């Protein structure tokens, strides 16, 4: 068996384990943290009713999520104002990702409920994943391993630089 060493991921594994033990929702925990920790927490933008955060375990470089501040599990529970805020942030984020990485397309989705694939089913969130022609190589198909060409910190800086006011 081949081994792919990624020692930097231990911090994230332990952090997620600690949050899980305490039953803390990441979408409630990170936005209320001090703004000086935004980069460490991968929080990119604070909107009026929702915020943008990077996925710590991205499918592709630039994989981000938008979530309301309010802790609700279902899309149907969002207010009109929250839906408008999330939609404006989606547009803003897509433009920022286009400027930062020139993707050829996007996967945009909501996994509502555990059976639908939601990692955090208690707090609704929207995934935006930039896509490029050929971004699925043999690594994930054959060896169930995804190779990301850039650090989360560098990706954060590029998105943040291109993320402009949504309103």
Q: Which class for 51: exposed (0-12), middle (13-18), buried (19 or more C-beta within 10 A)?
A: buried
Q: Is 76 a catalytic residue?
A: no
d(CA 124, CA 97): 22
Task: Sort residue 19 into left (φ over 0), alpha (ψ -120 to 50) or beta.
Answer: alpha
d(CA 94, CA 131): 11
* Selected catalytic residue, list 63, 125, 127, 164: 125
The residues assigned a catalytic role are 125
């Amino acid at each position: 068996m081949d081994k792919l060493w990624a020692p930097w991921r231990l911090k994230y594994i332990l952090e997620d384990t600690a949050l899980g033990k305490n039953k803390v929702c990441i979408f409630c925990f990170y936005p209320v943290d001090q703004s000086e920790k935004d980069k460490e927490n991968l929080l990119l933008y604070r909107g009026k009713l929702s915020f943008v955060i990077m996925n710590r375990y991205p499918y592709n470089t630039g994989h981000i999520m938008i979530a309301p501040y309010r802790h609700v599990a279902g899309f149907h529970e969002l207010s009109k104002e929250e839906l408008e805020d999330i939609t404006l942030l989606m547009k803003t984020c897509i433009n920022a990702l286009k400027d930062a990485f020139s993707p050829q397309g996007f996967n945009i989705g909501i996994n509502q409920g555990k059976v639908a694939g939601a990692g955090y089913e208690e707090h609704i969130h929207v995934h935006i994943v930039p896509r490029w022609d050929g971004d699925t190589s043999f690594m994930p198909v054959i060896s169930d391993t995804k190779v990301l060409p850039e650090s989360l910190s560098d990706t954060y800086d590029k998105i943040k630089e291109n993320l402009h006011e949504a309103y």
